[in-house]
């Protein structure tokens, strides 16, 4: 990819023919469609207190989000991105976390600015829409329903919907197949290496938002085709193919 200044919030790959011709868009959930960090942080603090651990900051939880609840809890227990706590401690902690998260799921979580209007416009233009997340279905579905997002989506895939999740190609290939299109006609929009990795593996174009959850990486370090400061910014970068 070409070099990008660290402060840039808007970027398009110079060699791609924008607007891209696509037929469908798949969105990540946490950090892309919805600001879920406050409720994830609250659940983490409650879980850690229950097992006699000190609280962690919201910024710490932000750095740990993106690979599903199990990996988030393992990171909270070990303080390492790929840490593996002992099985007994983990099983107890993850059950506590799930219980707390279920109770606060939509307490403070909310769609990011421009999300609803963008989904409405995309549907009115004839694009098929999906949500592809690593979040377990037990949280994905009630979260989308609670925030009135379900009606905009034709397909929802959670982290446990298929045998493999992002950054594996399978979820995006599944969506493309469900829509009857080629992967190159499905745009992935996300905020993390899991999203860009899945898109590259599947052969899908990928845009990234700069406001999401991607650990310590800068958005300019992600392997994407465009950076869109807000979701409405993607509207001028895509169009349906002429038929």
For residues 11-38, average pLDDT: 97
Residue 50 in tokens: 């229950």
Task: Indicate if the pLDDT at residue 10 is higher than 90.
Answer: no
Residue 66: what pLDDT?
A: 80
**Residue 90 and residue 76: Cα distance in Å, rounded?**
10
Q: Provide Rg for the chain, Cα atoms.
A: 18
Residue 4: what pLDDT?
A: 53
Task: Indicate if the pLDDT at residue 158 is higher than 50.
Answer: yes
Indicate the SS3 state at residue 12.
strand
Task: Indicate if the pLDDT at residue 128 is higher than 70.
Answer: yes
Residue 15: what pLDDT?
A: 94
Average pLDDT, the chain: 94
Q: Residue ranges of the domains in the chain? A: 11-35+110-239, 37-104
Q: Binning pLDDT at 50, 70 and 90, where does residue 58 land?
A: very high
Residue 217: what pLDDT?
A: 87
pLDDT digits (tens, 9 = 90+) for 182-203: 999 999 999 999 999 999 999 9
- Higher pLDDT: 154 or 214? It is 154
Degrees, nearest 5: CA angle 185-189-191: 150
Residue 242: what pLDDT?
A: 85
Q: Mention the CATH class of domain 37-104.
A: mainly alpha
Neighbours of 230 (CB within 10 A): 16
Are the beta carbons of 229 and 10 closer than 8 angstroms?
Answer: yes
For residues 135-141, average pLDDT: 95
Task: Indicate if the pLDDT at residue 210 is higher than 80.
Answer: yes
Q: Mention the CATH class of domain 11-35+110-239.
A: alpha beta
Residue 68: what pLDDT?
A: 84
**Residue 193 and residue 187: Cα distance in Å, rounded?**
15
Task: Indicate if the pLDDT at residue 6 is higher than 80.
Answer: no
Whether 28 is a known active-site residue: answer yes
For residues 11-22, average pLDDT: 96
- Higher pLDDT: 92 or 216? It is 92
Residue 8: what pLDDT?
A: 56
Q: Which of 8, 28, 70, 236 is catalytic?
A: 28
- Higher pLDDT: 6 or 54? It is 54
Q: Binning pLDDT at 50, 70 and 90, where does residue 9 land?
A: confident
Residue 243: what pLDDT?
A: 66
Cβ-Cβ contacts under 8 Å for 15 (sequence gap 6 or more):
none
């Amino acid at each position: 990819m070409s070099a990008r200044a660290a402060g840039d919030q808007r970027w398009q790959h110079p060699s791609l023919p924008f607007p891209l011709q696509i037929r469908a868009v798949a969105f990540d959930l946490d950090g892309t469609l919805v600001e879920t960090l406050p409720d994830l942080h609250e659940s983490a603090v409650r879980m850690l207190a229950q097992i006699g651990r000190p609280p962690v900051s919201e910024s710490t939880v932000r750095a740990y989000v993106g690979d599903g609840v199990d990996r988030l809890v393992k990171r909270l227990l070990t303080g390492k991105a790929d840490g593996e706590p002992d099985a007994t401690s983990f099983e107890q902690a993850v059950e506590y976390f799930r219980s707390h998260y279920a109770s606060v799921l939509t307490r403070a979580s909310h769609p990011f600015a421009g999300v609803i209007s963008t989904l409405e416009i995309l549907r009115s233009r004839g694009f098929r829409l999906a949500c592809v997340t690593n979040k377990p279905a037990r949280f994905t579905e009630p979260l989308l329903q609670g925030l009135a997002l379900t009606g905009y989506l034709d397909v929802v895939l959670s982290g446990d919907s298929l045998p493999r999740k992002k950054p594996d190609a399978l979820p995006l290939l599944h969506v493309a197949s469900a829509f009857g299109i080629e992967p190159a006609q499905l745009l992935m929009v996300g905020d993390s290496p899991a999203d860009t990795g899945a898109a590259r593996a599947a052969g899908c174009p990928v845009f990234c938002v700069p406001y999401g959850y991607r650990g310590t990486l800068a958005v300019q370090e992600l392997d994407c085709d465009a950076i869109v400061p807000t979701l409405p910014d993607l509207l001028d970068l895509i169009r349906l193919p002429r038929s």
